[in-house]
Structure formats: C-alpha cells, structure tokens
Structure 1
Amino acid sequence: MQVKLTPRLKKIADLVPINSKVSDIGTDHGYLPIYLLQNNIASHVIASDVNKGPLETAEKNIYLHGYVDKIEMRLGSGLEVLKAGEVDTIIIAGMGGILISELLDKAPNIVNKIHTFILQPMQAQEDLRRYLVANNFKITKDLLVKEDHRIYEIIVAQQGSQAIEEEIYYETGLFLESNPKDLVEEFIEGKIKTQKEIILQVKEQNSPTAMKKHTECEKKLIKLQEVLAWLKQ
C-alpha cells in the first residue's frame, strides 16, 4: 500500500538526496520515512519523536508497511537521539524556527557530520535563517508550498558560509525566483498584510518598544512592497 503524502511532506520528500541515510526528527505518524523507502529515495531512516504516543503510532504504520528492518524508531528530543556520522540528511519539519535553531545548536558533534538539512519551520522563519547564516550554514534552497490555504516555507541548508546582500532576504527567503510566480506573489502579499496589521496595532502606543517596532515594520513594509513590484514586472 503506497503512502500518499500531503503537499508539504511531498515537497520535503522531493528534496531528500537519493540513497541517503535520513533522520526524521519529530516524525509524528511516520509516513514520510515510509514514503522515502517506498520510492527508493532513502536507504535507511531513523525516525524519532519526543513523545511516546506519536512514536507508537509511527511504529504501527511502519510495521503495517513492512519497513521494520529499515526504519529505526527512537524516543527523545531533537538530535540527541543520533550518533555522529550515522545519517547524512536531517529533516526537521513542523516545529518553530527558534526551536529548530536550538536543536541544531545543542548538537554540534552531530551537525558537523550532516550533509543536507531540510528544515520546515512553522513560524520564526526569519530567525531561523539568521541563525543558519550566523552559524556556518549555507542556505541552498528556499521553497514554498501551499497546503490548505497556508503557504509553508522549506529551507535547505548545508555546511558553509554565506553573505546576505539585503536584510529583507531573511524574511522572504533567498531564492524567491525558484518558486511559481503566482505563489510567490501571494506569499509576499501575505507578508505585506501582516506588517500593516502590526503597524496598526502599535502606532497608538507610546512606549519605546512600540515605537521601535513601528519603525522596523515600516522599513520592512517598504522593502516588501519593492519586492512585490519587482515580481509583478
């Protein structure tokens, strides 16, 4: 029985290098590891979760699909479930960007042996990109995928250094042009709407924090509008 992934997970699966050894951190139901093996993308997968319930669900799914010998299940937080060098690709999807940064930061001995990082933050995407660039990661892909009226951001990174030409790239991603134009325009329009909403919320407040936030959002709004204008050319 073939596993059918959601658009978000399918996009992540498409980014996994062929014949790689993968760790799916926070595997939830285990469908992604099963898909990777069914489609001969990964040779071996370590699936982990910090909670026992989801891991038990994943174990049942993996057993039903006959991959008990190729998918290892591990209970634990983040990258602490891994040993240095046993995988070359790490997937961390469905967590906040700050949490993903913290998980990477806690395990330098594991991180240093990884070739490909596929990261899908649910929020704080800008914070995650800043962490990656500041900590000797190179962002190689920034992809968008729409699922159930929400646009998700997927970041692919490797070891290396990177110079960021414009601050706004931390917000928008570095490779907008690699995504469908209509999806990118919708994505940027959504970010413009968010900045306008924040500006309205803080403009009547007189605290130094609120005034600083207002100024930052105004600058970001101008840049986002410039990006949108460039896209529509």
Structure 2
Amino acid sequence: MKLTDRLYKIASFVTDGKRIADIGTDHGYIPVYLLKNNKIPFAILADINKGPLENARKEVRHNSLENKTDLRCGSGIEVLEKGEVDEIIIAGMGGILIADILEAKKEVAQNAEKLILQPMQAQEELRKYLLNNGYEIMEETLENEDFRIYEIMTAKYTGKNNTPEDEIYYEVGEKLLNNKNELFIEFINKKIRSNKAILDKLDGIESETISEKRREIEIKIKKLENLL
C-alpha cells in the first residue's frame, strides 16, 4: 500500500514505538501503513460514520492486523480514554471542527504526548485555539498534493499561553518560517493574491465598514509580503 504525499507526510510525524489513535480514519491507511512497517505497536482507528469504519476494518483484515488494532465508532476523541494512546492524529477536517474535537474531551487531548493535525481549512482558527488554550505548536510543514498546499502541524499541551506577538502568525504558523523553501513562497504568494482579489471586489464600494475592511486587508498583505 502506497500512501499519498499528504498521508505519508502526516504518518512521518508519528514517533516510532508509540501507540496512536487515528480520528476520522476513513480507510485506515495511515495506521495500517505504520503497523505494516513496524513503526508502531498498536492503533485505535475511529470514525463517526459506520461506512468509513467498515472500509478501515476491511483494510485491517486484509493486512491481518486485527490483533494490533481496535476500531471504534464515535465522535472525535470522545471514543478514547486518558492514557490509552500516546499520539493522536486528526486529519482531513476543518480547523474549527478539530478545535471542537480537542475541546470536547480535554483530558484526553491534554494528556497526549503529541497531536498531529492536518486541517483542510480554517487553519488560522485552529492555531488560535491551540495557542490560546495552553498548547504549543511544535512543528509545522507544507505538503503539495493535487495542486493544493496542505498545512500539517504537531502540538502538545504545556498549559502555557502561547499567544503570538502578531496575529499574522495565526494565519501563517511561526514554525513555517523556519523553512522558507519554494513551497513556502508559493503558499504566501497565494495568500497575497487571495487578499488582493478581495480588495479588487471592494473597489468602488464606499462605507466606513468597507474602508476599515480595506485597511485591514492592506495591512495583512504588507505583513505577508514581509514574511517573504
């Protein structure tokens, strides 16, 4: 079984020898890959929907991994008990939903040695939740797949307030600045183009609210340009 670039990058953040939970596991590709390659000893595969969970069960059976897995149907990390696993993967969901999942059973999220998160949208909302609720973002990376750039991050609860100096770091994680490769440049330029497109739509519309919105976007564009 060959993982896509996005799934492989997510899997690469799992620490060898750790018990994991894959929340929203879908077909269970990541835990099955890790188990087959002897990277981990045990995995909980969880999904809120029975259909995807049955797909994962077929994948587990096909690879004879029944004795190294536990499949659970339920909402988010509410299917887990504190200390059952070491690391938790939550990938392929919106950032707000991921934040809600972490909030729903805080004792599990806060006890994890590592959270591996890959939000599909609202990445800035997820960073804001993490940094303002005692989590430290340990690593961040970008992965390109099917003409889309995905943001992948790891976090750990420390209990400390990690509010950044500037709100631009909710949108662009500070850890991403450590690796200004071509993907980072493309990532920032896309954000600049997107914000300029919004400015174009506001052109010719005059009101106090619109003027304030225009100023905010112009400031954001300048901050994004400075990151390059």
Q: TM-score by structure 1 length?
A: 0.92
**1:167 matches 2:153:** no
Which residue identity does 2:221 align to in structure 1?
A: L
**Count of aligned pairs between the two proteins:** 226
Q: Is the 8 A contact 2:45 2:70 kept in 1?
A: yes
Instruction: Provide, for residues 131-159 of structure 1, a one-character-per-residue CA deviation record: whole Å limited to 9, x for no partner.
Output: 10000000011110000110000011011
State the percentage of identical aligned residues: 47
Q: 1:29 is matched with which residue?
A: 27
Q: 2:189 is matched with which residue?
A: 189
Give, in angstroms, the shift of residue 112 of structure 1: 2.4
Between the aligned partners of 1:45 and 1:144, the Cα distance in structure 2 is 25
Q: Is the 8 A contact 2:140 2:175 kept in 1?
A: yes
Instruction: Provide, for residues 62-114 of structure 1, a one-character-per-residue CA deviation record: whole Å limited to 9, x for no partner.
Output: 10011111111100111111111101101000000011011101111211221
Rate the CA distance shift 1:213–1:114 in 2: closer, same or farther, 3 A. same
Coordinate RMSD, CA, aligned: 1.5
Q: Is the 8 A contact 1:141 1:174 kept in 2?
A: no
Structure 2: gaps spanning 5 or more residues: none
Q: Is the 8 A contact 1:144 1:179 kept in 2?
A: no
After the TM superposition, which of the residue ranges 159-168 and 82-91 deviates more from structure 2? 159-168
Rate the CA distance shift 1:196–1:117 in 2: closer, same or farther, 3 A. same
Q: 2:227 is matched with which residue?
A: 227
Between the aligned partners of 1:180 and 1:149, the Cα distance in structure 2 is 19
Q: 2:95 is matched with which residue?
A: 97
> Is the partner of 1:155 in helix, strand or coil?
strand
Between the aligned partners of 1:35 and 1:165, the Cα distance in structure 2 is 39
Between the aligned partners of 2:55 and 2:157, the Cα distance in structure 1 is 33
Rate the CA distance shift 1:148–1:180 in 2: closer, same or farther, 3 A. farther
- Superposition pairs for residues 11-26 of structure 1, below 5 Å? 11-26=9-24
> Is the partner of 2:174 in helix, strand or coil?
coil
